[in-house]
Amino acid sequence: MIERSAPMALSPKAADGPPFRVEGVSFRYGGSPIIQNVSFVVDWGDFVGIIGPNGSGKSTLLKLLLGLLKPTEGAIEICGTPLREFREWRRIGYVSQRVTHFDPGFPATVWEVVSQGRTARAGLFRRLSQHDRNLISSALEEVGMLEMKQRLVGTLSGGQQQRVFIARALAQEPDILVLDEPTIGVDPEAHQQFFHIMRKLHHDKGLTILIVSHEVDVMMEEVTKLVCLNRSLLFSGTPEQCLKDNCLIDLYGEGFHRVTHAHPWTEAKPDA
């Protein structure tokens, strides 16, 4: 297991309280329990992987954290504020798993899509300032897409589209980045580029990141904290402690075998 270095800096707003605090949360749909009595805390500077088998409630948990669903029981706090009172949604950058299914006929350029991140931050009817344009350029540069800013998004590959929508989230200057199954449908090269970007955002910028993923092996290598879910919480802690406690066997069953990969922190510069 690779020893992970701490981020360069934590969020300047850490005094608000942790990004997410989940206490005794349950959610039922039509009387059927989807999530039961889940409790965990995400701290500033964490790189969190939420894993679990199909139907375990991962995406439901993410929707609860984003306020898209309301818990049947329990409580969620965001940055120290109860979910029902939280209004600073611009502090959370969200990238859904549907971004790689972008309509190829949609007439928007890379620049126009990423500029939506500044609109979310500054307001719908305010003209973009030079400061806004600088932040858009910076976000595109961080994901290796600045040179393609005038391309139509629909003409890009799935991996390139994914990086554009990450840039859109970054343009709103979030404190927290949340991604739902971000590597579904991308090729191996785009997959490698994605995690290179995530490492830099986490380590260099101190960004707090949550990823819902089915890629257990990669999550074990990449993240600093795991949340293991199968309707109820089976584990919350470091990947090293998860291995020590045999949590993956509890989560996936005796037939589970983990495949280790080559050094996951190898630098891979994003390109077109």
Q: What is the pLDDT of residue 2?
A: 44
Q: What is the pLDDT of residue 13?
A: 58
pTM for this model (two decimals): 0.85
Structure-block tokens of residue 228: 């293991």
Q: What is the pLDDT of residue 266?
A: 37
Of 226, 232, 233, 198, the residue nearest 212 (C-alpha): 226
Structure-block tokens of residue 68: 């898209």
Of 82, 47, 49, the residue nearest 67 (C-alpha): 82
C-alpha 19: how far from chain center: 13
Q: What is the pLDDT of residue 36?
A: 96
Where are the domains positioned within the chain?
Answer: 16-252
CATH, range 16-252: 3.40.50.300
Q: What is the pLDDT of residue 179?
A: 95
Q: Which DSSP letter does residue 152 get?
A: B
The full DSSP string for 63-132 is: HHHTTSS--SEEEEEETTEEGGG---GGGEEEE-TTGGG--TT---BHHHHHHHHHHHHH-TTSPP-HHH
Could you tell me the CA-to-CA distances from 163 to 36, 126, 158, 166 in Å, in that order?
A: 34, 25, 9, 5
Rg (CA), the chain: 18
Contact between 165 and 139 under an 8 Å Cβ cutoff? The reply is no
Q: What is the pLDDT of residue 99?
A: 60
Q: What is the pLDDT of residue 97?
A: 77
Of 223, 264, 214, 199, the residue nearest 43 (C-alpha): 223
Of 4, 3, 2, 7, the residue nearest 202 (C-alpha): 7
Low-confidence ranges of the chain (pLDDT < 50): 1-3, 5-12, 261-272
Instruction: Please work out, in degrees rounded to the nearest 5, the angle formed at the alpha carbon of residue 102 by the alpha carbons of 96 and 106.
Output: 135
Q: What is the pLDDT of residue 10?
A: 46
CB atoms within 10 A of CB 29: 11
